Amino acid sequence: MNKADLPFLSAAALGELIRKQEISPVEATAAYLGRIDAVDGKLHSYITVCRDEAMQAARAAEQAIAHGEWRGPLHGVPYAVKDQFWTKGIRTTGGSRLLADFIPGEDATVVARLHAAGAILLGKLNMSEFATGNSVDHPFGTPHNPWDLERNAGTSSSGSGAATAAFLCATSLGEDTGGSIRNPANNCGLVGLRPTWGLVSRYGMMGAGWSMDIGGPMARSVEDCALTLQAIAGYDPRDPYTTRQSIPDYRAGLTGRIEGVRLGIVKEAMDADFVHPQVKAAMSKAVADMKELGVSVDQVSIPLMTSAAAVTRAIIGVESASLHHNWLRTRLHEYDHNVQIDFLTGAIMPAQLYYKAQKIRALTRQQVLAALKKVDVLVLSSSSEPAPLLPKEAGLKSKDEARQRMSGRRSLTGVFNLANVPALSVPCGFVSVEGKELPIGLQLAGRPFEDGLLLRVAHAYEQATLWHTRRPPI
């Protein structure tokens, strides 16, 4: 195999070739580093590339495998993580100049687990400042979408989206508080899973909104997502809210069989006038494709879905502001301008407004769980549109503009972080915009801790379609 082709393999395929010692982790890592050098100047998906550390880890993996100490399907496989996760001895910026020189003394749990699985850390990925999703100023370079460099890679796990889609890592981690894995997965044509809250440890992950924050996999295939989730999921005594349930074999669950699964199309999403007509058409086609695979389809209603963006904003605003309360007083103007607006709004939020938002949240969860009694998996689009153009300026010009930012597509993802159920985006087509073909995603959501079912349904759909085989023109 031509070494330059190595980055285009799936993580699963690469891991298998490494296990059989047909490819060395050193070759794979060098190939990815070479591609990063060739391509990332256009994308700015990486903040820090850990060149020396990666090659050292690759040599160690090569030796271990040669001595029969194979650790599993990710052993020797190069990956990258959103710069929101601590990495021991490697700067971790949160996408902010305020932490430009912060070097953690330990790994986040998810990074430690990937290390234990033998995966090779290539580097730290770019992101919206402190995972807010609205930042325009990126101190380490603005991430660009590999499908169209003028467009947004999605927020806030922008670098995870861009790097994974552009084959600059075999798999990656993002983090999702209000949609920050699913939105870049939509925009970049990837599979991105927001796990059930409590399935994956938050230890060592910079918080955005503690009650909704969770890290999760972003990959080019459902199988790669499953492998990555397998490595990071499970109880962590350092995150007291992690589940003690045993973790199933997610990859073994990808049987391709989804007969009898009951899908529920979310009425409010299909009726929404802000969803692009081509996106709605793609949803309908995706559902029809899944019916061919044996699922039954019904319609469900989640009325509070339409307010999910505003409720999410109220809750995250307060929780984020409380994390930054000292710096808001002493270093305010070092934040991105939009982040300043959001954090200050959260800082002065009237208590009764926050309290009401939390009550609506409780009711939203009731509605979502009620829908999931009627069906097994909820279906809707991951976003209202494909990737928009990159924003040119920060600021708010009117209350109406503020209202728009707290409604629309953000409700499509926000409803599931409010309910703390798992939700996944899988590619389901392309939309033509100004002569460019841009990917869009199908969103699936399920009951708490039934992440495996989402992966199984997404995998069956993926294997019955060709969307995941297309490559961005970079």
Partner 1 sequence: MADLTQNEVKSLGRAVGVELEEPLLTEVTYNLNALRELLDDVNPPELDHVEPLPIIAPHERISHE
Candidate residues 144, 365, 447, 468; the one interacting with partner 1 per rule CB under 8 A: 365
Q: Does 305 bind partner 1 (CB under 8 A)?
A: no
Q: 3-state DSSP call for residue 347?
A: helix
List the alpha helices (DSSP H) in 375-431.
399-405, 409-419
Residue 408 Cα distances to 127, 222, 305, angstroms: 22, 27, 10
Q: Label residues 121-136 b or e (16+ Cβ within 10 Å = b).
A: bbbbbbbbbbbbbbbb
Residue type at 416 in one-letter notation: F
Which amino acid appears at position 170 of this protein? A
State which of residues 67, 373, 392, 399 lies at the interface with partner 1 (CB under 8 A). 399
Residue 240 touches partner 1, criterion: CB under 8 A? yes
Q: Does 360 bind partner 1 (CB under 8 A)?
A: yes
Residue 371 engages partner 1 in binding (rule: CB under 8 A): no
Judged by CB under 8 A, the residue of 95, 161, 216, 317 near partner 1 is 317
39 binds partner 1 (CB under 8 A): no
For partner 1, the closer CB: 313 or 456: 313
Q: Is 197 in the site for partner 1 (CB under 8 A)?
A: yes
Q: How far apart are CA 349 and CA 319, in angstroms?
A: 11
3-state SS, residue 9 = coil
Chain positions 121 to 150 lying near partner 1, rule: CB under 8 A, are none
The reply to whether 460 sits near partner 1 by the rule CB under 8 A is: no
Q: How many residues bind partner 1 (CB under 8 A)?
A: 54
Taking the complex as a whole, the smallest distance from the CB of residue 109 to partner 1 amounts, in Å, to: 15
Q: Which span sits near partner 1 by CB under 8 A: 90-98, 151-159, 168-176, 233-241?
A: 233-241
Q: Which of 296, 301, 407, 463 binds partner 1 (CB under 8 A)?
A: 407
Q: 217 Cβ partners below 8 Å, 6+ apart?
A: 171, 172, 173, 174, 191, 192, 193, 224, 225, 228, 229, 232
Q: At what angle do helices 451-463 and 277-292 cross, to 10 degrees?
A: 90
Q: Is 350 in the site for partner 1 (CB under 8 A)?
A: yes
For partner 1, give the closer residue by CB, 75 or 405: 405
351 binds partner 1 (CB under 8 A): no
Examine residue 156 and say whether the peptide bond preceding it is cis (omega within 30 degrees of 0): yes
Token output for 231: 């490595």
Question: Residue 393, interface with partner 1 (CB under 8 A)?
Answer: no
180 is catalytic: yes
Tokens found for residue 72: 């599993």
CB of 221 to partner 1, least distance (A): 29
Phi then psi for residue 49, to 5 deg, are -100, 125
User: What's the CA gap between 468 and 41, in Å, rounded?
Assistant: 25
Query: Between 27 and 239, whose beta carbon lies closer to partner 1?
Result: 239
The rounded distance, in Å, linking the Cα atoms of 348 and 342 is 10
Q: Would residue 373 show up in a list of annotated catalytic residues for this protein?
A: no
> Can residue 75 be called a binding residue for partner 1 (CB under 8 A)?
no
CB of 360 vs partner 1, minimal distance in Å: 6
Catalytic residues: 82, 156, 180
Interaction site with partner 1 (CB under 8 A) = 197-198, 211, 237, 240-241, 243-244, 303-304, 307, 310-311, 313-314, 317, 325, 328-329, 332, 340-342, 344-345, 347-350, 353, 355-363, 365-366, 395-396, 398-403, 406-407, 419-420, 448
